[in-house]
Amino acid sequence: MDARGVLDILDLTLLDHEASYADLEMLCERANEHRPAAVCVFSEHVELVRGLLDEGISVAAVAGGFPVGWNDASSIQESVETAVRHGADEIDCVLEPRDSDDFPGERDLALLKAMRDASAGRRLKVIIETPLLGEHDIRAVTRMVLASGADFVKSCTGMRGACSDEDARLLSFEVKRHSVTMGEERGVKLSGGIRTMEDVERLVGIVDSNEAGIHGRSRLRIGASSLLDDILG
């Protein structure tokens, strides 16, 4: 995969509640120059970033708690709705893992429903925090996320562990399974500790070996804050 191919699926990320106007302006200047798939910021920065970005670059808002996801459906819904009102094209939202025998269960499905309803047709990426989960739970949560109508299942925030090769394998397999069984094409977003082109090539290769149809910005994203520096050399 060449540099342009990676940029086409990159969510260029700046998640800092204390980010200054200058920080956000620089982020958008780089995005306008190199044209990633999206710029990913906290909800409170969406309106500013939307005004600084050129057309064709999506704004992805992180809403509903980060890196620890909220567990109240009404609060999540309000947060996502606010991000949408401020101009978010996409929503990234954490489904917080629970150390319980009933995870994932009805309460988690209620949170997913709130995310989907509030995102109002915007692209929804649900973060499942794979570093905190075993294989069984990763598969179960991914199936629930996809069944709830989310557009993407996303590996992790990167704040509580990195995306592993096994995470990429499991998520892409479950997205393929959903496509085969339900006839619905969904996406995979890999994030957490992805810093170099070598990281991207390895992880994308794993996804491709599972399902060659998971490609392009509508089905595959890479979330990273420092990857652009490595791409540009």
pLDDT in tens, 58-88: 999 999 999 999 999 999 999 999 999 999 9
For residue 122, what are the contacts with CB-CB under 8 A and spacing of at least 6? Answer: 84, 88, 89, 90, 91
The answer, yes or no, to whether the previous bond of 104 is cis (omega within 30 of 0) is yes
pLDDT of 155 = 98
Say which amino acid occupies 119: S
Instruction: Identify the pLDDT of residue 197.
Output: 97
Residue 27 to residues 14, 32, 47, 86, 221, Cα–Cα distance (Å): 8, 9, 14, 18, 18
| pLDDT value for 162 | 98
pLDDT for position 1? 86
pLDDT per residue as tens digits for the range 106-119: 999 999 999 999 99
Print pLDDT tens along the chain (233 aa).
Answer: 899 999 999 999 999 999 999 999 999 999 999 999 999 999 999 999 999 999 999 999 999 999 999 999 999 999 999 999 999 999 999 999 999 999 999 999 999 999 999 998 999 999 999 999 999 999 999 999 999 999 999 999 999 999 999 999 999 999 999 999 999 999 999 999 999 999 999 999 999 999 999 999 999 999 999 999 999 98
Judge whether 21 and 47 are in contact, CB under 8 Å: no
Q: Are the C-beta atoms of 83 and 43 separated by less than 8 Å?
A: yes
Whether 173 contacts 210, CB under 8 Å: yes
Q: What angle do CA 139, 144, 150 make, to 5 degrees?
A: 115
Q: Which ranges in the chain belong to alpha helices (H)?
A: 3-7, 21-34, 46-52, 73-85, 106-118, 135-147, 165-182, 197-210, 227-232
The confidence score (pLDDT) of residue 233 equals: 81
pLDDT reported for residue 187: 98
Catalytic residues: 92, 154, 189
- CATH number of residue 199's parent domain: 3.20.20.70
Residues spanned by the domain of 216: 3-232
Number of domains into which the chain is organized: 1
